[in-house]
A and B are shown apart, each in its own frame.
Chain A
């Protein structure tokens, strides 16, 4: 009985720690701004899906010139994605008057949870959602 209780305690403690990690991550995500006037860049919304044979990265780049999209693997665990906006955007065009800054491109650097083979990556754009597929190593 006491052994079962200890096991339960361990699981509860583990779950508590896991929830703490998730909550800290979510708080960081909420705190981070997607607008970076100093580099004239907007951070796009992005997703990473780890599948059995490949990693699929999608990036939402509305109002971008999809032909200008550039995908650069820094190493097997890191990818940088950029795309120019169709036109320079500033806060006033979003009817925000108390902030200044203009934006020319999307830029994001993504840490991948597993290593991939960049040489066999493929890139497709569907109505300005960029999809990068890279086989896992």
Chain B
């Protein structure tokens, strides 16, 4: 029940090696591992302006905090945060408040872009107006806004809070659905796009589990409130895959790391096989079809 490194009470048993760590040694382990990921996978160059996609949740808050810590040590690394307000009553306002407080305290510029400014409607209004899958349109609009706004902010990198659980689930789902194209967008850095309009995406928490991030954010006292999106489906493939992977992980510790590390070693999905990038006929944004998904949805809701 005590830390492997000292005599303090343990707060975690690490999933990779069953090592027990106390609060201070866990924080040290966590930060070292994230900074190692950044260095090892060359997520950053010497000079960068990083825009962090901030949702107000534990993952993006931890990402922002750690990149801020890095930027304090290195004046050539600058930072701003970008929050997408989908317009979901009872869900987003609370996380916007948390994000504003956090950025104010750390003196990080926070920019907010909304579905309303993109389409003229909040997500709540869109879903009342048209029968559209909430997560599908939300994902498309959010990704489009993040890239466009990050570019306006002269970002050289767009950082997201994706974690080991997210990646293991995506790898598993893409295998089941034979989605090779989407697999190419996974990994700690999306470097398979050569189009300058596409801001390279980095995932500093790529090797951290959701549980580790929750513990880290609680121990650091981040202002994160658990709020569930009212549109979050309980019955979808990602939930099933999440439960399957966590069941395997419980019986066979190391399952998630194994899935992700095997994926990274498979060069079918790396830079040697770049995704073809075209231009959307409507908005001129990077796109792999004639018209991008964002423009398709905008037409649907008009």
A, B from the same assembly: no
Binding site for A on B (CB under 8 A): none
Binding site for B on A (CB under 8 A): none
